[in-house]
Amino acid sequence: RKEVEQDPGPFNVPEGATVAFNCTYSNSASQSFFWYRQDCRKEPKLLMSVYSSGNEDGRFTAQLNRASQYISLLIRDSKLSDSATYLCVVAREDNFNKFYFGSGTKLNVKP
């Protein structure tokens, strides 16, 4: 079983739509959770860390459900500039030797 699994995508949505991405992780020792954004042929850039209580940054909301080993990212009022691949990334407790990447979910926001 893969360490991190994501919705395959692509998600094609109109501007202004709300879109949600899901991610599941297999190892219960996972402790740190992140969403990264990757534009075509560019490096992954941190979008937000995911905290136990859930957190919000402008139009972006991240949720963590430890019981179900599930992470989500909600984007409200989608902009054209949100078009990218969104990567779910996980690190294990007390082990920062490796960040585990999901395969990414591609988002296309259309005018």
- The CA distance from 104 to 9, in Å, is 8
Question: Which residue number, 66 or 98, has a Cβ lying nearer to another protein?
Answer: 98
Residue from 26, 45, 66, 79 in contact with another protein (CB under 8 A) = 45
Phi-psi map region of 41: left, alpha, beta (phi>0 left; psi -120 to 50 alpha):
left
Among 46, 56, 70, 80, binds another protein (CB under 8 A): 46
Is residue 44 a contact residue for another protein (CB under 8 A)? yes
User: Nearer Cβ to another protein, position 38 or 55?
Assistant: 38
**Rounded distance between C-alpha atoms, residue 89 and residue 30, angstroms:** 10
